[in-house]
């Protein structure tokens, strides 16, 4: 799937970038700014189907980013699109929710052990922020423990940006480090007497560093510490949800959170997020006022119902694991054959490849650039994703591209 | 359009409420909780077309709430739905934006005088919060002046809720009262030396009180005060946008803001919001990190393009004003004839009816309850909306229902 390059100035992408530079700050903003990628990555995309995406110049790529996670069944999945279309013909944005909301809440409560109720929002950030408010309402306390470099969204309390953010926005946040018991003990001590809760991702999936599964000891210390303090343990499953285990990403860790936060992959690309919680937090969740005009929209909830049904029907987690394992095995072989030492970390469904001794991610960028040239879309610093549309045949085609990319890097040395 | 009542226990709405009570906090939350309405209002809705909505028991109503504002062209508008469907067949949620984003930014910059760029988000709350961050990034200061009872969303800095909210969340907020020059002067003085900006709605559309247009003197004082302090004047046009003037709701007031925030009606029910800003704030908007997985989704942007094109083509603001004027004239006559003294305030496109000397909104509730019984959906405490689908014939049918409601109230006295 080698793409014929158009020179930059002639490309539709370039023309759109010039127009965007006039009417969009910086030409683009946030995580979708092309400046975060090697130069050959497109700023604009035109469409996708299954595991394949297409840019505005007609180049096609096998995608391992999936809209930053949501497209767990692949783009344009028929069952999801049909369910969404059926609901859309009835209603979407209304004065009140549709029946779909009750069905989705019932499904999630049935599927997730610690969930006795569901509260829906729109973005991951809405939902993590609402979870903090619920923890504070439940405890009457202020402090939240947060892992130092984890991404929980882009609200003032958690954005990785600094511009425009005030000390007050983080006055009640206390930081610790992932899997570092001493730092956790210090954080619990610092918040002692005013601890509302702890928020943590199921594993350490921070950008640009090796991914780490949570240790049993650390998960246990989170649970014990929250129980001792009467605080709320919040699992931020926005990025991992529907990828490691449908029953929440800590299902195989012997710890249950009190609240969990979901988004991205629960609806295969439709905008909806959710907070799931224990019975003991129902009154607190009832007492807060967190809402939005579009939060109750019916179409994303219909899409979520169809997405989850399909993931159950086809063993979606198993298929993702199979695709991820195949990709990993191939990439590790290719790296070895080309003489590169790599660290391949994270669950294979959400892997991260780092070149050992790679200063400033230079090799990662070169590898992503070369892979894109050979038809494979790999983020240079963010974890990758596979979908259930990444069949053996798709993975093997992707490996052809990455094989050429590794060889290109090797011969450039 | 009198509806045959089903008794509560037999109704589909009641059965859904019972199910929701088990799996949704409080049975429902936020502004869409049926507990905020008279008892005969449905908790769940099944669909709508034009100005008509239908509940899960098949009752139909002429709607004056429009999803709390978005459905400015009415439900299931063909041109919007076609544009959305066309885009959906290509792409929605992707790794990067679509061409539609550039087109929409160009359209808004062309349409709104103070706009040199557009920054898109998902909800109104995302967008107002991002506007504050831009103002703070631009000035390097912290304080924001906010009208005491105005709704700017449901994030911790602005939610009308109190549970779970901390003093730190509002440490940098300074309050003033709408059209009250003395309170504004005090607020400017209190924030002196650390003022980032002021956020204000185009007119006072607070719930449960008479609506007030902004006075020329007050708007002038906002502009002068911000200019003198080097602070950013933010117009929160989320609720009013596309209703009073397509070029922003202060187009007829002789003051331009530095930033404006849009949502709701810009896309006829699809989830997208926007911050529009002056050239002088472009660098600040570029410097911040505020983003979301679903913010760049293409379908809502295609819907917004179609919505605005249609509003321009049919003089959407003029049609709303015509419908609103006709409704107002009819209601004022009916109230007089039935012997009720009412205050009918706000622009006729977004009116609010208050019964004079109505203790605890008791008469408002009884009126909404009676109107619903006669097929007209009117919020008892929140401003109403009309759409371009509220033709003369629809308004006249609604007035038949409200006429009966007034008579019912009169004979109950």
- B324: domain CATH number is 3.90.1150.10
Whether residue B371 is found in the same domain as residue B273? no
Q: Confidence class of residue A10 from pLDDT cuts 50, 70 and 90?
A: confident
pLDDT at residue A3 in the model: 47
Strands A273-277 and A117-121, how do they pair?
Answer: antiparallel
The first and second tokens of residue A390, run together, are 């990444």
**What's residue B400's pLDDT?**
98
* pLDDT tens per residue, range A353-374: 999 999 999 999 999 999 999 9
Residue at a domain's end among B261, B296, B314: B314
At residue B2 the predicted structure's pLDDT band, cuts being 50, 70 and 90, is very low
Same domain, A297 and A328: no
List the CATH number of the domain containing B110: 3.40.640.10
Residues A219, A361: one domain? no
**Same domain membership, residue A91 and residue A63:** no
* 3-class secondary-structure state, position A381: coil
Number of domains in chain A: 2
Pairing of strands A273-277, A259-262: antiparallel
ipTM, two decimals: 0.97
Q: How far apart are CA A172 and CA A141, in angstroms?
A: 10
Q: Are B152 and B49 within one domain?
A: no
**What value does the mean pLDDT take over residues B237-244?**
98
Whether B6 maps to a domain, the answer reads no
pLDDT-derived band at B35, boundaries 50, 70, 90 = very high
- Say if B174 falls within a structural domain: yes
Residues B216, B179 contacting (CB under 8 angstroms)? no
Q: Which residues of A touch B62 (CB under 8 A)?
A: none
Burial A271-310 (b: 16+ CB within 10 A, else e): bbbbbbbbeebbebbbbbbbbbbbbbbbbbbbbbbbbbeb
Q: Of A275, A290, A232, A238, give the one whose Cα is nearest residue A104.
A: A275
Q: Residue A123: list chain B partners with CB under 8 A.
A: 122-123, 126, 292-295
Residue with tokens 């007035």: B399
Residue B35 to chain A, least CA–CA distance (Å) = 12
- Has residue A7 been placed in a domain? no
* Six-digit token string for B265: 């009606």
How far is the C-alpha of A90 from the C-alpha of B243, rounded, in Å? 25
For residue B53, give the nearest of A252, A95, A207 by alpha carbon: A95
Phi, psi of B149 (to 5 degrees): -115, 10
Within a domain: A131? yes
> Does B101 lie in the same domain as B70?
no
B282 in A contact zone (CB under 8 Å): yes
Beta-bridged to residue A62, according to DSSP, are A52, A376
User: Cβ of B16 under 8 Å from any chain A Cβ?
Assistant: yes
| Averaged pLDDT, B373-381 | 98
DSSP code for A243: T
Region A206-220 average pLDDT: 97
**In which domain, by residue range, is A18 found?**
12-75+315-412
A-B CB pairs within 8 A amount to: 326
- Using CA coordinates, name the residue in chain B closest to A43: B96
Q: What DSSP character marks residue A264? A: G
Among candidate residues A297, A314, A331, the one where a domain is terminated: A314
In terms of domains, do B252 and B105 share one?
yes
Q: Which residue has the tokens 């969340």?
A: B169
- pLDDT value at residue B222: 98
Separation between Cα atoms, residue B245 and residue B75, nearest integer Å: 21
Instruction: Let me know: does B157 contact B129? Beta carbons within 8 Å.
Output: yes
Cβ contacts of B195 within 8 Å, gap of 6 or more = B139, B141, B143, B145, B188, B229, B231
Contact A30 B116 (CB under 8 A): no
Is the separation of the CB atoms in A221 and A254 below 8 Å?
no
* Mutation site, B64, B102, B191, B270, interface A, largest A CB count within 10 A: B102
Q: Indicate the average pLDDT of chain A.
A: 97
pTM greater than the 0.80 cutoff: yes
Cβ–Cβ under 8 Å, residues A133 and A189: no
- Whether A1 maps to a domain, the answer reads no
Q: What are phi and psi of A107, to 5 degrees?
A: -60, -45
Same domain (yes/no): A271, A305: yes
Distance of alpha carbon A162 from alpha carbon A147, whole angstroms: 17
Can you give the pLDDT at residue B3? 47
Render pLDDT for A118-137 as a digit per residue (tens, 0 to 9): 999 999 999 999 999 999 99
Q: Which of B282, B314, B346 is the last residue of a domain?
A: B314
Q: What is the pLDDT of residues A380-402, one digit of tens each?
A: 999 999 999 999 999 999 999 99
pLDDT beyond 70 at A9: no
Task: Tabulate helix, strand, coil % of chain B (nearest 5).
Answer: 45, 15, 40
Look at residue A7 in the predicted model and tell me its pLDDT. Answer: 54
Residues comprising chain B, all counted: 413
Give the C-alpha separation, B318 to B50, whole Å. Answer: 17
Q: Is the pLDDT of residue B1 over 90?
A: no
């Amino acid at each position: 799937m080698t793409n014929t390059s158009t020179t930059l100035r002639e490309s539709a992408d370039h023309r759109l970038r010039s127009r965007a530079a006039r009417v969009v700050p910086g030409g683009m903003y946030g995580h979708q700014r092309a400046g975060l990628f090697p130069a050959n990555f497109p700023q604009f995309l035109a469409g996708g189907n299954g595991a394949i995406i297409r840019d505005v110049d007609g180049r096609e790529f096998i995608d391992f980013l999936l809209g930053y996670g949501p497209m767990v069944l692949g783009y344009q999945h028929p069952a999801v699109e049909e369910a969404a279309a059926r609901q859309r013909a009835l209603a979407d944005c209304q004065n009140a929710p549709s029946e779909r909301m009750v069905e989705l809440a019932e499904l999630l409560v049935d599927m997730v052990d610690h969930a006795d109720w569901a509260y829906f929002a729109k973005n991951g950030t809405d939902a993590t922020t609402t979870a903090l408010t619920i923890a504070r309402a439940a405890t009457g306390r202020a402090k939240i423990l947060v892992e130092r470099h984890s991404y929980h969204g882009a609200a003032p309390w958690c954005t990785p940006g600094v511009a425009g953010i005030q000390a007050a926005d983080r006055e009640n946040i206390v930081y610790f480090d992932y899997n570092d018991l001493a730092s956790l003990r210090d954080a619990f001590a610092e918040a002692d007497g005013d601890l509302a809760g702890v928020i943590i991702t199921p594993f350490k999936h921070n950008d640009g560093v090796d991914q780490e599964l949570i240790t049993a000891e650390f998960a246990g210390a989170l649970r014990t510490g929250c129980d001792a303090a009467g605080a709320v343990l919040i699992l931020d499953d926005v990025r991992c949800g529907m990828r490691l285990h449908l029953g929440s990403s800590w299902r195989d860790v012997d710890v249950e959170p009190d609240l969990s936060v979901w988004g991205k992959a629960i609806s295969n690309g439709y905008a909806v997020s959710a907070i799931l919680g224990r019975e003991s937090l129902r009154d607190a969740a009832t007492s807060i006022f967190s809402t939005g005009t579009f939060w109750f929209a019916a179409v994303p909830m219909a899409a979520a119902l169809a997405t989850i049904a399909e993931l159950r029907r086809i063993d979606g987690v198993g298929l993702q694991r199979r695709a991820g394992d195949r990709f990993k095995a191939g990439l590790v072989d290719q790296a070895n054959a080309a003489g590169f030492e790599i660290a391949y970390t994270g669950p294979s469904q959400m892997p991260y490849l780092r070149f050992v001794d790679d200063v400033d991610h230079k090799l990662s960028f070169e590898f992503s650039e070369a892979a894109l040239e050979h038809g494979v879309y790999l983020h240079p610093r963010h974890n990758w994703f596979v979908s259930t549309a990444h069949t053996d045949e798709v993975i093997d085609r992707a490996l052809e591209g990455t094989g050429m990319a590794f060889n290109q890097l090797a011969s450039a040395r």
